[in-house]
Amino acid sequence: MAPRLGSMGRVDSGDGRWSIWVVAWVAHALSTDPASAYDANIFYPERNTLAYSEANFGAGVLALPAWIATNNPYAAHNSAVILGFALSVLTMFGLARRLTGNDGAAMAAAILYAFCPFVFARTAHIQLLMVWGLPLVMLCLHRLVDRPTIGNAVALGLALFATALSCAYYGILAGLIVGAAVLTFSVTRGRWREPSWWARVAIAAVVAVGTALPFFLPYLDHQEQTGFFRPLAEVVRFSANWQAWFASSAWTHRWMHPYVAGWSEVLFPGFILIGTGLAGMFSVLRAQPATAGSRTVPRDVVCFYAALAVVIVWLSFGPTAGLYTVFWKIVPIFSFLRAPARFGIGAVLALAVLASFALARAGRRSTIVPWAVAGLAALELITGPLVQPTPAPLSAAYKVLARMPRGPVLELPFFERRMDFHRHTEYMLPSTLHWQRLVNGYSDYASPTWARRALTFRQFPAGDSLELALMLNVRYVVLHEHKFSRAELAIVRERFAQEGHTLPLIVADAGVELYEIRR
């Protein structure tokens, strides 16, 4: 990826194009007008349209240097991907290193976690690549448990904030894990009797909620205005099935695919991670005292991560398994979520921590063992070559549009069927060159009003479509002749010819035509 930083990307899918666009939009907004970040340039004339899906502020921040230097959406996105992987290695290494004191065991855990099959199966979803937040949160949590200072409490709150802004699923999962860990260690360490301990926990909670709330308010407003929520029937579709926990993106696991056909997600953690994770749990619990490498590992820590792995696997199966339904009913924020299978990364985290315990113990007898396992883990998890197509060059029409006065843009054909909505990303990606507001758009949510307009604009400029465009003050129309069938194109040409005085042609290049709507 690095040698082709600005000339490759997942432009072969709607989600992939959306991810590239959203990273570029956030980086653009943060570098020009941060206050308008949620007012993305899609679904005109609707407002706060970034809140129709993940905001991805974390990836946008990582992409800022590349965006400022190049204004290239692919370079911005790919730099965020590479930095995301690097941070995942660093944060997981830091967590395992703190718990074991062994560099080799920490590096093996970092590789097993950061390059797990789930991550490589989600290269079209930038937010799901930001897995670095979970180990960062747990590292800060263990620091707070060991030394409940105000500084450590603030650090935990900021880690939760950073995780939530990078991926809502991971932010919610991190909050649930921290809540469970606080209750667990409050009892096992006897801290529930200490007012100062609860004061530090409160500080962490206030910092996390206080920093994240301004970024969450647009979602609450969106829910209040539209009544948006995810019914459990929709959630079932995006839950894990048993096949998902045996499906993998790694080359070495492809022999399993015929036996697990029909998987709903890719969640297999790898043979080495499962083996070393189970070994870590049993070997530390049986030790007298419980040790891992150069550190004594409290049994409550081992039991916590073992229980965490089990609970998260259970949660990933969604409403049909029962536990997710309980959370959906008692935790309001679950009404925004639709893919319980994505919580599966938490089980990988727990197994990686347990694996570091086993490898640290083995490292006491031979320092080579943990590093050898790290190398074997890298070989087991190889996923490549990454399918990253080279984007086609943009038409000169977009370069002209970038120099035109500001005005809303309507791109044709206007895909009106729900199953084709993702094709609007074919227009969103070129908009990173001009950042004019688009009537078109694609996201997790499309308002009923926009869907009704789509039916009207599909026949532009016939019927009421031109009148609607004038009413919305749409200024430009971009027509892509190669996206129409021959018969459709002939009809559209006739319509445009009839409205020639209202729709003069500005420029045509490579099958893309730019028109201006004149009153």
Do 179 and 136 belong together in one domain? yes
Q: Which helix (H) or strand (E) holds 410?
A: strand 409-412
Reported as a pLDDT band with limits 50, 70 and 90, residue 194 is very high
Do 472 and 352 belong together in one domain? no
Residue-level pLDDT at 290: 58
Judge whether 447 lies within some domain.
yes
Going by the DSSP 8-state scheme, the letter that residue 5 receives in this structure is: T
Residue-level pLDDT at 286: 72
- Beta-carbon-side half-sphere exposure of residue 19 (alpha carbons within 13 Å): 28
Q: Is the pLDDT of residue 439 over 60?
A: yes
Do 323 and 425 belong together in one domain? no
What's the CA gap between 383 and 252, in Å, rounded?
9
Residue-level pLDDT at 128: 97
Do 32 and 102 belong together in one domain? yes
Do 186 and 233 belong together in one domain? yes
Judge whether 4 lies within some domain.
no
How many domains are there within the chain?
2
Judge whether 511 lies within some domain.
yes
3-class SS at 515? strand
What's the CA gap between 65 and 330, in Å, rounded?
41
Reported as a pLDDT band with limits 50, 70 and 90, residue 454 is very high
Do 359 and 244 belong together in one domain? yes
3-state secondary structure string across 330-391: HCHHHHHCCCHHHHHHHHHHHHHHHHHHHHHHHHHHCCHHHHHHHHHHHHHCCCCCCCCCCC
Residue-level pLDDT at 230: 76
Give the residue with greater pLDDT, 332 vs 132.
Answer: 132
Last residue of a domain, one of 334, 355, 380: 380
Judge whether 386 lies within some domain.
no
Q: Residue 499 is encoded by which pair of tokens?
A: 């409205």
Q: Of 154-158, 281-285, 392-396, which has the strongest mean pLDDT?
A: 154-158
Judge whether 2 lies within some domain.
no
Q: Which residue from 373, 403, 446, 381 is spatially nearest to 105, judged by alpha carbons? A: 373
Last residue of a domain, one of 324, 352, 380: 380
Do 324 and 402 belong together in one domain? no
Whole-model pTM over 0.85: yes
What's the CA gap between 363 and 361, in Å, rounded?
5
Judge whether 308 lies within some domain.
yes
Q: Is the pLDDT of residue 297 over 80?
A: no
Report the percentage of the chain scoring pLDDT > 70: 98
Other CB atoms within 10 Å distance of the CB of residue 3: 6
Strand extents, DSSP E, 255-344: 291-292, 295-296
Reported as a pLDDT band with limits 50, 70 and 90, residue 292 is low
Q: Residue 147 is encoded by which pair of tokens?
A: 């030394």
Do 448 and 490 belong together in one domain? yes
Residue 115, Cβ density class (10 Å: 0-12 exposed, 13-18 middle, ≥19 buried): buried
Last residue of a domain, one of 322, 351, 380: 380
Do 139 and 185 belong together in one domain? yes
Residue-level pLDDT at 346: 97
Q: Which residue from 214, 238, 228 is spatially nearest to 446, judged by alpha carbons? A: 228
Judge whether 270 lies within some domain.
yes
Average pLDDT over residues 463-473: 95
Do 128 and 24 belong together in one domain? yes
Domain containing residue 422: 396-516
Judge whether 440 lies within some domain.
yes
Do 411 and 375 belong together in one domain? no
pLDDT digits (tens, 9 = 90+) for 3-55: 899 999 999 999 999 999 999 999 999 999 999 999 999 999 999 999 999 99
Do 363 and 440 belong together in one domain? no
Using alpha carbons, list the distances in angstroms from residue 47 to 44, 75, 120, 243, 432. Answer: 7, 28, 33, 41, 18
pLDDT digits (tens, 9 = 90+) for 207-240: 999 999 999 999 888 877 777 777 888 899 999 9
Weakest-pLDDT range from 87-101, 161-175, 216-230, 378-392: 216-230
Average pLDDT over residues 301-319: 95
Reported as a pLDDT band with limits 50, 70 and 90, residue 294 is low
Residue-level pLDDT at 470: 95
